[in-house]
């Protein structure tokens, strides 16, 4: 049985940046640096570590797991872009989208770019990665992060994704989209506060976020060559997660959900068990939601 950890008791996750190094090399470096490697985790409980022990994650091959207080911000491997400090749950969207090298991709709400750099690593820097963000400052931070990570296949634009024209010939080969829009952030353990703020204000805020998220989703599905789209939030609210996805599927009957990782311990709430959820209690991560949509291969009603 897994205890319910507070934010500062969650394991620390480190994603190995395969554009610059390999898991093996990072493990060797850390062993020489005084950490003790325990191999690959086989159960979730293994991820509760002490001191300088570390493991390979049981779900994500490029992820290493450390004890809660481990800090890599001043570490050489971080400064050199060999590792990215990214919560396990937030590694799921790019991992599940898994765009092949050479493909054209959109990262619709991309800054500060952790998922963009992960996408580039999965694509081995081959193909085109169009990344948009409305916030210029966050986009500047993102440029630095991508430079450090050795990403070269990106094209950044300080642009409102909702105003990007799906019929622009530039995007005619875009088959994959990652959509990680602004959300309430209610899954971030450090942001959770139990002093219930003004309930009415909170409801209005959630409704406005959900309507923005649905507009982004509907807009993304208009790109003509789109095959797969991954939608994610760091929210625990059904209103920003299952409800947005259910409304979108109803409005876009040409798309359906892909059932995700059978071995993952936490599912989307009814009626969307194909989706994944993450939480401190069940997955030892921040709160998170992921859905993968795909276009039907057969156009409807073509039975002969």
Taking contact as CB under 6 A, which single stretch among the options 56-64, 71-79, 179-187, 284-292 is the one that binds ligand SAM?
179-187
157 φ, ψ (degrees, to nearest 5) = -140, 130
Nearer to ligand SAM, 41 or 278 (CB): 278
Cα-Cα end-to-end distance for the chain: 53
Q: Which of 55, 83, 111, 151 is close enough to bind ligand SAM by CB under 6 A?
A: 111
* Distance of closest approach, residue 200 Cβ to ligand SAM, in angstroms: 24
Please tell me whether residue 134 binds ligand SAM under the rule CB under 6 A. Answer: yes
DSSP class of residue 179? E
Nearer to ligand SAM, 102 or 136 (CB): 136
* Distance of closest approach, residue 104 Cβ to ligand SAM, in angstroms: 18
Unique residue bearing structure tokens 């400052």 = 137
Please tell me whether residue 135 binds ligand SAM under the rule CB under 6 A. Answer: yes
Q: Among this protein's residues, is 153 annotated catalytic? A: no
Point out the catalytic residue in the list 216, 234, 248, 275.
Answer: 234
Please tell me whether residue 180 binds ligand SAM under the rule CB under 6 A. Answer: yes
DSSP class of residue 84? E
Q: Which of 81, 127, 150, 181 is close enough to bind ligand SAM by CB under 6 A?
A: 181
Q: Are 159 and 132 within 8 A, CB to CB?
A: yes
DSSP three-state, residue 139: helix
Residues in the chain: 304
Nearest residue to ligand SAM, scored by beta-carbon proximity: 109
Nearer to ligand SAM, 52 or 219 (CB): 219
The alpha-carbon radius of gyration of the chain (Å, integer) is 19
Torsion (CA) 276, 281, 284, 286 in degrees, nearest 10: 70
CA–CA gap between residue 187 and residue 56 (Å, rounded): 24
Q: Which of 115, 237, 238, 277 is close enough to bind ligand SAM by CB under 6 A?
A: 115
Please tell me whether residue 113 binds ligand SAM under the rule CB under 6 A. Answer: yes
CA–CA gap between residue 58 and residue 198 (Å, rounded): 40
CA–CA gap between residue 257 and residue 288 (Å, rounded): 17
If binding means CB under 6 A, how many residues of this protein chain bind ligand SAM? 18
Residue whose C-alpha is closest to residue 121's, from 92, 106, 136, 100: 100
Please tell me whether residue 160 binds ligand SAM under the rule CB under 6 A. Answer: yes
Taking contact as CB under 6 A, which single stretch among the options 50-58, 76-84, 126-134, 247-255 is the one that binds ligand SAM?
126-134
Please tell me whether residue 138 binds ligand SAM under the rule CB under 6 A. Answer: yes
65 φ, ψ (degrees, to nearest 5) = -120, 130
CA–CA gap between residue 277 and residue 257 (Å, rounded): 15
* Distance of closest approach, residue 137 Cβ to ligand SAM, in angstroms: 9
Nearer to ligand SAM, 134 or 246 (CB): 134
Q: Which residues are catalytic?
A: 234
Could you list the residues that contact ligand SAM (CB under 6 A)? 109-115, 132-135, 138, 160-162, 180-182
């Amino acid at each position: 049985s897994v205890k319910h950890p507070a934010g500062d008791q969650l394991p620390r996750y480190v994603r190995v940046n395969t554009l610059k190094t390999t898991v093996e090399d990072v493990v060797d470096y850390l062993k020489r640096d005084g950490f003790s490697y325990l191999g690959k985790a086989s159960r979730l409980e293994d991820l509760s570590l002490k001191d300088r022990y570390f493991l390979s994650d049981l779900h994500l091959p490029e992820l290493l797991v450390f004890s809660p207080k481990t800090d890599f911000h001043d570490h050489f491997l971080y400064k050199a872009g060999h590792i990215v400090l990214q919560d396990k749950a937030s590694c799921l969207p790019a991992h599940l989208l898994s765009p092949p090298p050479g493909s054209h991709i959109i990262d619709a709400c991309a800054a500060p770019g952790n998922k963009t750099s992960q996408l580039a690593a999965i694509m081995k820097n081959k193909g085109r990665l169009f990344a948009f963000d409305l916030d210029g400052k966050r986009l500047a931070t993102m440029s630095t992060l991508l430079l450090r990570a050795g990403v070269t296949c990106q094209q950044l634009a300080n642009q409102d994704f909702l105003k990007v024209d799906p019929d622009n010939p530039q995007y005619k080969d875009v088959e994959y989209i990652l959509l990680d829009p602004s959300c309430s952030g209610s899954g971030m353990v450090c942001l959770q506060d139990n002093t219930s703020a003004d309930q009415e204000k909170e409801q209005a805020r959630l409704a406005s976020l959900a309507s923005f998220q649905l507009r982004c989703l509907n807009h993304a599905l208009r790109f003509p060559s789109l095959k797969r789209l991954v939608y994610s939030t760091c929210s625990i609210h059904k209103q920003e997660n299952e409800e947005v996805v259910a409304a979108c599927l109803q409005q876009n009957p040409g798309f359906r959900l892909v059932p995700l990782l059978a071995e993952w311990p936490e599912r989307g709430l009814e009626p969307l068990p194909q989706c994944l959820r993450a939480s401190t209690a069940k997955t030892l991560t921040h709160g998170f939601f992921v859905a993968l949509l795909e276009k039907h291969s057969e156009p409807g009603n073509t039975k002969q």
